[in-house]
């Protein structure tokens, strides 16, 4: 080894010892007559000091930020009064006996030694330097730790890790596939897995009754802060289980992770809410439970009133729903207009607000203490009643949306989240986990005029609903469940269908013909005829999980080499054109549009060069 100890590991107890250090020059402080170097490696920072009489002094004068150097010297206690309490190594310093430059370094394109804001594209272009910075070092090390904890936990529960192919078969359902052309089979393509779903179910049939895998998944869809074209899941599956077994295992895992990582408040027991309950109380299937503002149904409270905006909606089968915003009476007229605009953008024709000023309960509140555009239609008593129904006090704001459930849910969910954000209601140190259960089996796809699976087509419908799978798909409940945390879906799973007949019925409900079903899923249907055990599983997103524990909002911050929004790799320059020879080998011809695009790109590159 080129070093005898890590920079960050040197302590007062080493005083007097000879050490060899190697690392990057974090910072140089040249006082003319003496030079300090902060030397950095993965273990931390240590101060190296060189005096003019030291052999390494001339070299110390010449080194620059990010030079890679090796230092030999004696550990010494710092002079009294010069200790640095902010550094674990702050009691000591290393007096240079020799200093060797292992490699020089260009001035980096952005500061490596401080956590300054840098354009993300620049960070990605020089990711190897970005990763050298403290924040990213912390994140990728946390990621390792979390994955390590997961592997140990799964092993301790008798799961075995099995690798499954990356080159597989395209499926007609779900996300767009990444395709890989076959050289050996002209005109045929592999698809990269959207998840190892089918493989893990086949492993269940194979008698591997407790499987897991840290699996890379690929989906060719547009990206977001929490979505990458390739991402990592803890994929797991168990045979002979019921939903409760999977949920308990998942909760145990996350309790374990939270306890080991530390620093977060986590519910003692993860609440379980049905999908219907979530939509009713929060308007979302991934509610943030760190704050209140639950939705209240006011339909019956306003049924007989004069206000036709409400009564007409009720006649049309809609409902009147509201949230109470604690302390919201101080929101300005302009702020209220902005909230109304948000409601409109999400499909509402308007938003009724009521502000209760003053303090204390709403009983006996007078018109003077109520601000609302609908005062003509409601008495102060009526409005107080509505407020009380939502749990409001004086000083609070009531926001009322009227219309179809889908719209009012969306509007109140968006408002709830926005207000929580604006008013800082979400505790950053709380991880508010919950399970959402009883997802509907199907949803209607307006664009393609057919039913599609909400979770996926291997999800088991409720036994009680098997009779209506094909006659009334919209009413079928499924054994699909999510783990949700702080308004984000972190895991998703289900109990699977293990019967060929049920699977065929679901495929028919999705509008797949027998021929198509056999072509795309014949292998699954066949496997199910050979004694498939009842089974189920879940797939927590590793990127999102690590981001939660790292307090990062963007999963790109916990991925070593992420892609941009347009799925390109700024460091390597992928994707890129390949040679005509390579295309020929895989029997691929580019169409005119693709050729034109490449030509244009090439000419732009020339201009730059």
Partner RNA sequence: GGCCCCGUGGUGUAGAGGCCUAACACGCCACCCUGUCACGGUGGAGAUCGUCGGUUCGAAUCCGAUCGGGGUCGCCA
Q: Which residues are at the interface with RNA (CB under 7 A)?
A: 27, 29-34, 36, 38, 47, 49, 51-53, 64-65, 78-79, 81-84, 86-87, 90, 93, 107, 109-111, 114, 116-122, 171, 173-176, 194-195, 197, 219, 221-225, 227, 445, 447, 452-457, 554, 556, 564-566, 568, 570, 604, 607
Instruction: Tell me how far, at minimum, the Cβ of 21 lies from RNA, in Å.
Output: 15
CA distance 444 to 474: 7
Selection from 233, 254, 326, 285 nearest residue 555 by Cα: 233
Q: Are 92 and 11 in contact (CB under 8 A)?
A: yes
**Which residues have a Cβ under 8 Å from the Cβ of 316 and sit 6 or more positions away?**
none
Q: Could you give the CA distance from residue 201 to residue 257 in angstroms, rounded to a whole number?
A: 26
Question: Cβ of residue 251: shortest distance to RNA, in angstroms?
Answer: 22
Q: CB of residue 427 vs RNA: minimum separation in angstroms?
A: 21
Strand partners of residue 319: 403
Q: Which is closer to RNA, CB of 195 or CB of 250? A: 195
Least distance from RNA to the Cβ atom of residue 157, Å: 23
Nearer of residues 20 and 65 to RNA, judged by Cβ = 65
Between 470 and 554, CB nearer to RNA: 554
Contact 441, 473 (CB under 8 A): yes
User: Which residue, 194 or 296, has its beta carbon nearer to RNA?
Assistant: 194
By C-beta, is 193 or 387 nearer to RNA? 193
Nearer to RNA, 149 or 525 (CB): 525
Three-class DSSP category at 39: strand
Specify which residues 461 forms β-bridges with.
Answer: 478
Q: How far apart are the first and last CA of the chain?
A: 42
Which residue lies nearer to RNA by CB, 198 or 355?
198
Strands 450-453 and 442-445, bridge-based pairing? antiparallel
CB of 498 to RNA, least distance (A): 17
CB nearer to RNA: pick between 60 and 298: 60
Least separation in angstroms between CB 144 and RNA: 24
Q: Find tokens 């799964």 and name the residue.
A: 154
Report whether 232 contacts 541 (CB < 8 A).
yes
Q: Which is nearer to RNA, 122 or 505 (CB)?
A: 122
Find out whether 433 and 270 touch, Cβ atoms under 8 Å: yes
CB of 388 to RNA, least distance (A): 32
* Distance in Å, CB of 229 to RNA, minimum: 10
Smallest separation, CB 566 to RNA (Å): 4
The radius of gyration of the chain from alpha carbons, rounded to an integer in Å, stands at 30
Q: In the numeric block, which tokens belong to residue 297?
A: 């149904």
Is there a contact between 295 and 283 (Cβ–Cβ < 8 Å)?
A: yes
Of 230 and 470, which CB lies nearer to RNA in the complex structure? 230
Distance CA 192, CA 429 (A): 37
DSSP state of 529: T
**Angle formed by the axes of helices 243-261 and 542-549, to 10°?**
40
Pairing between strand 272-274 and 433-437?
parallel
Per 3-state DSSP, the chain is made up of helix, strand and coil in percentages (nearest 5) of 35, 25, 40
Least distance in angstroms from the C-beta of 193 to RNA:
8
Question: Do residues 441 and 478 lie in contact, with contact meaning Cβ atoms separated by under 8 Å?
Answer: yes
Q: How far is the CB of 84 from RNA (least distance, A)?
A: 3
Residue closer to RNA by CB (options 14, 394) is: 14
What beta strand segments (E) does 522-601 contain? 535-540
DSSP class per residue in 308-337: HHHHHHHHTT-EEEEEEETTGGG--HHHHH
CB of 119 to RNA, least distance (A): 3
Both tokens assigned to 231: 């991402």
- CB neighbours of 226 closer than 8 A, spacing ≥ 6? 488, 543, 544, 547, 554, 555
CB-nearer residue toward RNA: 13 or 30: 30
CB–CB of 360/329 below 8 Å?
no
Structure tokens at 604: 């732009």
Distances (CA, A) of 153 to 150, 157, 574, 590: 5, 6, 36, 48
For residues 177 and 369, which CB has a smaller minimum distance to RNA in the complex? 177
Least distance from RNA to the Cβ atom of residue 83, Å: 6
Q: How far apart are CA 57 and CA 61, in angstroms?
A: 6
Distance CA 443, CA 385 (A): 37
Minimum distance from residue 485 beta carbon to RNA (Å): 16
Name residues whose C-beta falls within 8 Å of residue 101's C-beta, 6 or more positions apart in sequence: 59, 62, 63, 67, 68, 69
Of residues 33 and 262, the one with the C-beta less far from RNA:
33
What's the min distance (Å) between Cβ of 376 and RNA? 35
Task: Give me the residues paired with residue 443 across strands.
Answer: 452
Give the residue with the Cβ less far from RNA, 195 or 243.
Answer: 195
């Amino acid at each position: 080894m080129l070093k005898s100890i890590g920079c960050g590991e040197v302590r007062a107890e080493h005083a007097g010892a000879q050490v060899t250090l190697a690392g990057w020059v974090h910072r140089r402080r040249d006082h003319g007559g003496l030079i300090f170097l902060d030397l950095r490696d993965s273990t931390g920072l240590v101060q190296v000091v060189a005096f003019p009489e030291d052999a390494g002094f001339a070299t110390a004068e010449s080194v620059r930020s990010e030079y890679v150097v090796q230092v030999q010297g004696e550990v010494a206690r710092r002079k009294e009064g010069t200790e640095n309490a902010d550094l674990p190594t702050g009691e000591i310093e290393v007096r240079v006996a020799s200093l060797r430059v292992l490699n020089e370094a260009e001035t980096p394109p952005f500061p490596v030694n401080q956590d300054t804001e840098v354009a993300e594209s620049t960070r990605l272009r020089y990711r190897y330097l970005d990763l050298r910075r403290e924040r990213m070092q912390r994140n990728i090390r946390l990621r390792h730790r979390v994955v390590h904890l997961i592997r140990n936990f799964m092993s301790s529960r008798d799961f075995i890790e099995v690798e499954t192919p990356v080159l597989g078969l395209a499926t007609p359902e779900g996300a767009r596939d990444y395709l890989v052309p076959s050289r050996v089979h002209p005109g045929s393509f592999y698809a990269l897995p959207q998840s190892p779903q089918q493989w893990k179910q086949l492993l269940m049939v194979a008698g591997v009754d407790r499987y897991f895998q840290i699996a890379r998944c690929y989906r060719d869809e547009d990206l977001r802060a929490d979505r990458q074209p390739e991402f990592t899941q803890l994929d797991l599956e168990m045979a002979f289980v019921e939903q409760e077994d999977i949920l308990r295992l998942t909760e145990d895992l996350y309790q374990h992770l939270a306890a080991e990582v530390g620093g977060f408040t986590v519910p003692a027991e993860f609440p379980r809410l049905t999908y219907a309950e979530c939509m009713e109380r929060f308007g979302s299937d991934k509610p943030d439970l760190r704050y209140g503002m639950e939705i209240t149904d006011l339909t019956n409270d306003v049924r007989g009133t004069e206000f036709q905006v409400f009564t007409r909606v009720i006649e049309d089968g809609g409902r009147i729903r509201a949230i109470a915003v604690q302390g919201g009476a101080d929101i300005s007229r302009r702020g209220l207009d902005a909230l109304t605009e948000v409601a409109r953008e999400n499909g509402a024709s308007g938003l009724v607000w009521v502000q209760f000023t003053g303090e204390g309960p709403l009983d006996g509140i007078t018109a003077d203490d109520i601000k609302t555009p609908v005062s003509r239609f409601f008495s102060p008593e009526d409005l107080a009643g509505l407020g009380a129904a939502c749990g409001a006090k004086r000083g609070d704001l009531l926001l009322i949306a009227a219309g179809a459930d889908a719209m009012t849910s969306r509007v109140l969910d968006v408002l709830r989240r926005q207000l929580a954000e604006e008013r800082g209601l979400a505790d950053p140190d709380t991880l508010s986990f919950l399970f959402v259960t009883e997802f509907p089996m199907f949803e209607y796809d307006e664009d393609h005029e057919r039913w599609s699976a909400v979770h996926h087509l291997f999800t088991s419908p409720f036994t009680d609903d098997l009779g209506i799978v094909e006659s009334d798909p919209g009413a079928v409940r499924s054994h699909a469940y999510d783990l949700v945390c702080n308004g984000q879906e972190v895991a998703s799973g289900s109990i699977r269908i293990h019967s060929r007949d049920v699977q065929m019925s679901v495929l028919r409900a999705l509008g797949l013909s027998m021929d198509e079903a056999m072509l795309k899923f014949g292998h699954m249907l066949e496997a199910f005829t050979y004694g498939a055990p009842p089974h189920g599983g879940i797939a927590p997103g590793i990127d999102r999980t690590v981001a939660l524990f790292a307090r990062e909002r963007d999963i790109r911050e916990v991925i070593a080499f992420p892609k941009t929004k347009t799925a390109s790799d700024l460091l390597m320059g992928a994707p890129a054109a390949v040679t005509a020879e390579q295309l020929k080998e895989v029997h691929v011809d580019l169409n005119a549009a693709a050729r034109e695009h490449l030509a244009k790109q090439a000419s732009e590159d020339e201009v730059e060069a």
